[in-house]
Amino acid sequence: MSVPFFALSIGVTMLNIKNISPFYALFLPFFLNNAIGLVSATDKVPLHHVSAKDCKTCHEEIYSQWKGSMHANSTALKDPIHGTFYKAVIGDPKEEGINKNGKYPVCLQCHAPAAAIDGKTDLTSMEVYNEGINCVACHTISKFIGTKKAEGGLRLGTQAYEFSDSSLQGPGTNHTEADWQHPLFENSANPDVFKTSAICMGCHDQRKNSNKVALCQTGDEIASSGGSNNCLSCHMPVVNGKIDHSLLGGHSAKMVSKGLLMTMATTKENKKLNVTLKLTNQLPHSFPTGAPFRNVYVKITGYDKNGKEVWTSSQSHPLKDDKKAMFMYSLGDEEGNPAPPPKATKVLGDTRLKPHETRKLLYSLPKKKITKLRAVAYYDLLLPPMKNKFSEPEHKDLVTSKVIAVTENIIN
Ligand code: HEC
Ligand code: HEC
Ligand code: HEC
Ligand code: HEC
Ligand code: HEC
For residue 398, the CA-to-ligand 1 centroid distance in Å is: 27
Asked if 180 contacts 204 with a C-beta cutoff of 8 angstroms, the reply is no
Name the amino acid, one letter, at 116.
A
Domain co-membership, 195 together with 280: no
25 lines ligand 2 (CB under 6 A): no
Domain co-membership, 177 together with 55: yes
Q: Read off the pLDDT of each residue in 195-203 and give the average, rounded to a whole number.
A: 95
- Confidence label for 1 from pLDDT (cuts 50, 70 and 90): very low
What gap in Å lies between CA 48 and CA 388, rounded to an integer? 38
| Residue 218 in domain | no
Domain co-membership, 153 together with 15: yes
pLDDT digits (tens, 9 = 90+) for 165-194: 889 999 998 777 778 889 999 999 999 999
Closest of 197, 61, 192, 73 to residue 123, by C-alpha: 73
Residue bearing the bigger pLDDT, 67 or 26: 67
| Residue 319 in domain | yes
Which of 171, 205, 239 is where one domain is finished? 205
Asked if 103 contacts 109 with a C-beta cutoff of 8 angstroms, the reply is no
Closest of 337, 336, 341, 322 to residue 383, by C-alpha: 341
Question: Given this model, what pLDDT does residue 4 score?
Answer: 34
Domain co-membership, 182 together with 267: no
> In which domain, by residue range, is 117 found?
5-205
Instruction: Please determine, for residue 60, whether its predicted confidence score (pLDDT) is greater than 60.
Output: yes
- Confidence label for 220 from pLDDT (cuts 50, 70 and 90): confident
Which of 148, 179, 205 is where one domain is finished? 205
Give nearest CA residue, ligand 5 atom 28. Answer: 82
Question: Given this model, what pLDDT does residue 278 score?
Answer: 98
Mean pLDDT, the chain, whole residue set? 89
Task: Of 126-140, 217-231, 339-353, 374-388, give the lowest mean pLDDT range.
Answer: 217-231
Domain co-membership, 193 together with 272: no
Distances from the Cα of 136 to the Cα of 108, 144, 167, 236, angstroms = 16, 15, 10, 17
Closest of 38, 64, 41, 61 to residue 50, by C-alpha: 38
Instruction: Pick the atom of ligand 1 nearest to 69's CA.
Output: 5
Q: First vs last Cα of the chain: how many Å apart?
A: 73
| Residue 215 in domain | no
- Confidence label for 219 from pLDDT (cuts 50, 70 and 90): confident
Domain co-membership, 163 together with 288: no
What gap in Å lies between CA 344 and CA 22, rounded to an integer? 59
218 lines ligand 4 (CB under 6 A): yes
| Residue 244 in domain | no
Question: Given this model, what pLDDT does residue 14 score?
Answer: 42
Which of 183, 205, 227 is where one domain is finished? 205
Instruction: Please determine, for residue 43, whether its predicted confidence score (pLDDT) is greater than 90.
Output: no
- Confidence label for 36 from pLDDT (cuts 50, 70 and 90): very low
Q: Read off the pLDDT of each residue in 294-298 and give the average, rounded to a whole number.
A: 98
For residue 218, the CA-to-ligand 3 centroid distance in Å is: 11
What gap in Å lies between CA 363 and CA 285, rounded to an integer? 27
Domain co-membership, 201 together with 257: no
200 lines ligand 5 (CB under 6 A): no
Strand partners, 301: 312, 374
Domain co-membership, 185 together with 332: no
Closest of 115, 127, 110 to residue 53, by C-alpha: 127
- Preceding amide of 288 cis, omega within 30: yes
Question: Given this model, what pLDDT does residue 173 score?
Answer: 82
78 lines ligand 5 (CB under 6 A): no
Per DSSP, the chain holds a count of helices (H) and strands (E) of 17, 18
Instruction: Pick the atom of ligand 1 nearest to 200's CA.
Output: 1
Asked if 107 contacts 29 with a C-beta cutoff of 8 angstroms, the reply is no
What gap in Å lies between CA 89 and CA 84, rounded to an integer? 9
Instruction: Please determine, for residue 293, whether its predicted confidence score (pLDDT) is greater than 80.
Output: yes
Instruction: Pick the atom of ligand 4 nearest to 205's CA.
Output: 35
Q: Read off the pLDDT of each residue in 305-334 and give the average, rounded to a whole number.
A: 97
Distances from the Cα of 152 to the Cα of 148, 262, 314, angstroms = 7, 41, 45
Instruction: Please determine, for residue 19, whether its predicted confidence score (pLDDT) is greater than 80.
Output: no
Q: What is the CATH number of the domain that holds 321?
A: 2.60.40.2360
Domain co-membership, 38 together with 169: yes
| Residue 153 in domain | yes
pLDDT digits (tens, 9 = 90+) for 360-390: 999 999 999 999 999 999 999 999 989 999 9
Domain co-membership, 42 together with 178: yes
Q: Please tell me the pTM assigned to this model.
A: 0.93
Strands (E), 181-316: 187-189, 207-208, 214-216, 238-239, 242-243, 260-269, 272-281, 295-303, 309-312
Question: Given this model, what pLDDT does residue 224 score?
Answer: 76
- Confidence label for 37 from pLDDT (cuts 50, 70 and 90): very low
Instruction: Please determine, for residue 265, whether its predicted confidence score (pLDDT) is greater than 90.
Output: yes
Q: Read off the pLDDT of each residue in 67-77 and give the average, rounded to a whole number.
A: 98
Give the list of residues 6+ apart from residue 122 with CB closer than 8 angstroms, or none.
93, 94, 95, 96, 129
**Domains held by the chain: number:** 2
Domain co-membership, 397 together with 267: yes
pLDDT digits (tens, 9 = 90+) for 233-249: 999 999 988 999 999 99
Domain co-membership, 37 together with 183: yes
Distances from the Cα of 399 to the Cα of 73, 98, 238, 380, angstroms = 18, 30, 31, 7
Instruction: Please determine, for residue 195, whether its predicted confidence score (pLDDT) is greater than 70.
Output: yes
Question: Given this model, what pLDDT does residue 44 score?
Answer: 63
For residue 71, the CA-to-ligand 3 centroid distance in Å is: 6
Strands (E), 315-392: 326-327, 329-332, 346-350, 358-366, 372-380
Closest of 261, 264, 312 to residue 410, by C-alpha: 264
| Residue 398 in domain | yes
| Residue 339 in domain | yes
| Residue 243 in domain | no
